[in-house]
Amino acid sequence: MPHGTGDWADLIPKSTVFGGIDLGELAVRLGSNNFWDRRGNVIFYDDFQSGIGRVGWLVGLDGSIEWSSEHSLSGGYSVKFSTDKLLLLYTLIRKFLPCPPKSAFGSEVAICTGEDIVHFRWSMLYYDGTNHSVFRVRYTLATEILEYWDGDWHTFATDVKFAKSVDLFHIAKLVADMETGKYVRFIFDNVTYDMGKYSGDVDLDDTSPYLDVEVLGFGDEDDNYVWFVDDLIVTQNEP
C-alpha cells in the first residue's frame, strides 16, 4: 500500500521542527556529491572514494593515471592524470553506459590543474543504433575561449577565467538534447551559457546503442602536465 502525507500536511504549525526540504537538498545533506547543479535525474555518479574501477581512461606511452589522495573536491580521493608528451599528448577519463531512452543528458565533472595545460574538453557521444550524436565543448587556457563542436570548432564565449591551482576545482556541466540534436547549456563555475541555438554533430551510424561521456586534458610535447578529476555525474531528463 502506498504511503504519503495529506495535502494539508505542510500547513500544520510545528513548535519544534520546520517544514520539509526538497529531496535534492536532503541528498546533499546526507552526503551526495551532486551539490552544484541538481537538475536532471542522476543515472551515474562517482566520487572516487572506492577507487577508479568504475570508469575508463586513456593515457599515452609516458602518461599516467592514479588514484590520489593529494587533492579532492569532496571526500578524500580523486583521479590524478599526467599527460603524455610522446604520442597522444592527452589523457582522458570516460564512462560508458547502456543506452538510456532519448532525452536531454547532462555531464558534470570537477577538474583542476596548476600547470599550463593546452585545453580541456568535455564530450558526450550517443549511439542509438541509427545515428551517432557528438556534443563537445573545449576550453583553451591561453586564449580563455570556450568553443562547441558541430563538425568544426566555433567560439561561443570569450574571456573565461580559469584559476590554475590544485587547491581550486572548477566545475563544468555540459547538457545536450539527444532528441533534437542540439546543445542545451554549458555551465562553468558560476556562469551558465545558453547553447540552445547550436546543433551537435549527428551522422548515420549503426553502432549498437550506448552513451559515452568523456573528459580530456590536452598537453604538448614539452612536459607531462598533471591534472585532477573529481565528482563525475551523468544525468538524464534535463530541463
75 belongs to a structural domain: yes
Tell me the per-residue pLDDT of 16-59, one tens digit each, with 9 for 90 and over: 656 666 677 777 777 777 777 888 999 999 999 999 999 999 99
Give the span between the Cα atoms of 227 and 152, in whole angstroms. Answer: 26
The number of angstroms, rounded, from the C-alpha of 186 to the middle of its chain's C-alpha atoms is 10
Q: pLDDT for 171-183, tens place per residue?
A: 999 999 999 999 9
Candidate from 10-14, 46-50, 189-193, 208-212 with smallest mean pLDDT: 10-14
69 to each of 66, 92, 200, 213, 237, how far by Cα in Å?
A: 10, 19, 37, 24, 33
Q: How far is CA 130 from CA 133, 145, 204, in A?
A: 10, 33, 6
* Residue 182, domain member (yes or no): yes
CATH number for 122: 2.60.120.200
Could you tell me which of 89, 39, 40, 99 has the C-alpha nearest to residue 63?
A: 89
Asked whether the predicted pLDDT for residue 132 surpasses 80, the reply is yes
- Is residue 21 in some structural domain? no
Residue 220 lies in a domain: yes
Domains identified in the chain, total number: 1
Task: Give phi and psi for 10, each to the nearest 5.
Answer: -75, -5
Q: Return the HEC string of 23-62.
A: HHHHHHHCCCCCCCCCCCEEEEEECCCCCCCCCEEECCCC
**Element spanning 228, H or E:** strand 226-236
Mean pLDDT, residues 119-146 taken together: 97
Which pLDDT value is given to residue 203? 95
Residue 17 lies in a domain: no
Is residue 218 one of the residues assigned to a domain? yes
**Strand 78-82 relative to strand 64-68, pairing:** antiparallel
Domain membership of residue 9 (yes or no) is no
Mean pLDDT of 200-206: 96
Percent of the chain with pLDDT over 70: 89
Residue type, 187: I
Name the grid cell of 167.
587547491
Mean pLDDT rounded to a whole number for the chain: 91
In a domain, 22, yes or no: no
Confidence grade of residue 1 (pLDDT, cut at 50, 70, 90) = very low
Per the structure, the complete domain to which residue 66 belongs is given by 36-236
Model pTM? Answer: 0.89
